[in-house]
Structure 1
């Protein structure tokens, strides 16, 4: 069986300063060891999950395909947090700091999620689940 020790999701961004300010306002930190004038390393879970937010020009150097411009959906990034309240807090902070809503929150009893698009149009789903409430 193959296992993964960590993941680095790479996303193109238009403006690193705007990106850094946006994610900082949501309470996230950056790994400065992997950040410079071409990229910032957003820490999602220290030691295992990161988002590399790269300038469009730098990102383009890793692919032979065109780079998404935020007007279409190529991926939805879903992350789980510790509570419904944390879901709401992150989404409200995102909306107050330049993010936009692309769908309404949903409550399935055992899983609650809400969503936002960051300033570059990347779609994020923030969720909390309680598997003890999962229907049989």
Structure 2
């Protein structure tokens, strides 16, 4: 039984959509695709963990995102070598370049519209 994509508990809004990401990557990507109906939306799939084969994806807009940023993110995701990639924190640790930086390098969100806004600004998800 899958959990419904109800409003996230930690990021409630008064205005706007009241749906949030869940554990199902296909449903999450569907929510992003629903908001960005563009052929420029690129989704690259990866399987992480030699034992777990956890599915993850790199999402960006081809015409907006910096190619160097895409290449760097792709390289770092491919460099993750572990038997078990069971939680997002393991991926985050490999994506951060300066873990002691006072400025955030990664944004964690449960809201599809925040991801879409960041993709429209040239970021990757």
TM-score norm. by structure 2 comes to 0.24
Structure whose CA Rg is larger: 1
Which has more helix, going by share of residues? 2
Higher strand fraction: Structure 1 or Structure 2?
1
